[in-house]
Amino acid sequence: MSKPRTLVLLRHGQTSWNAEQRAQGHTDVELDAVGRAQAAAVASAIAALRPAALWSSDLLRASATADEVARATGLTVRLDKRLREYDVGERSGLTMAEFAAAFPSEHAAWMAAGGAFEGADLVPGAESTHDVQARIVPALREALASVEPGETVCVVGHGAATKVGLGGLLGWDAATRQSLRGLDNCGWATLVETGVQDGLRLTAYNRVAPDFTSAGSVG
């Protein structure tokens, strides 16, 4: 068997909307001062994993985090819009309380689904989990295939979409996926090939650089 490839899934650094618990979706919110410090701190930790390739969502909070990793590794960032966060439609910019007030039935369905857009009760303009998996899982598989056996690729993305993509890669159902908490800002997960076709094993989850953690999980 050839040496297994490794996939590192890294969430972006904090934004002001993360700190305020506002849903971001495709809104292009910049890293705040904490997020920039997180990105700089995690870059050296990712560099120590010796990635051979670096992919990122094209949204600024992810690409700016990836730029820090690029500086630490000498790699060029490959941007891919398929790695974006859920499009949360008209929920973008809303806190949880504002979401509940503006869209009470959709909020109730979202809560019943464990904080995911699993069903048809979507805020106008929002993507379902099926929509997100359909675009992100192929992108993650392409990223993994872009490196040679025994090498590592780092993909910088977003909290909810990354968890959905990870679950899709591992073949998890919704209940299993929802048993995971969201990644912290600049937290990462590691998956390694098993040797079975398309098989992956989760070997680490929510690793963080020292002194930088946050509980925010809204995009």
Sheet containing 6-11, strands listed edge to edge, beginning at the edge strand earlier in sequence: 77-79, 53-56, 152-157, 6-11, 188-193, 200-207
Catalytic annotation present for 85: yes
Rg value, the chain, Cα: 16
Confidence of residue 80 (pLDDT cuts 50, 70, 90): very high
Catalytic annotation present for 106: no
From 33-47, 77-91, 168-182, the region with the lowest mean pLDDT: 168-182
3-state secondary structure of 37: helix
Q: Which fold has domain 6-207?
A: Rossmann fold (3.40.50)
Of 12, 26, 107, 158, catalytic: 12
Confidence of residue 116 (pLDDT cuts 50, 70, 90): low
Of 20, 26, 30, 85, catalytic: 85
Let me know: does 36 contact 9? Beta carbons within 8 Å.
no
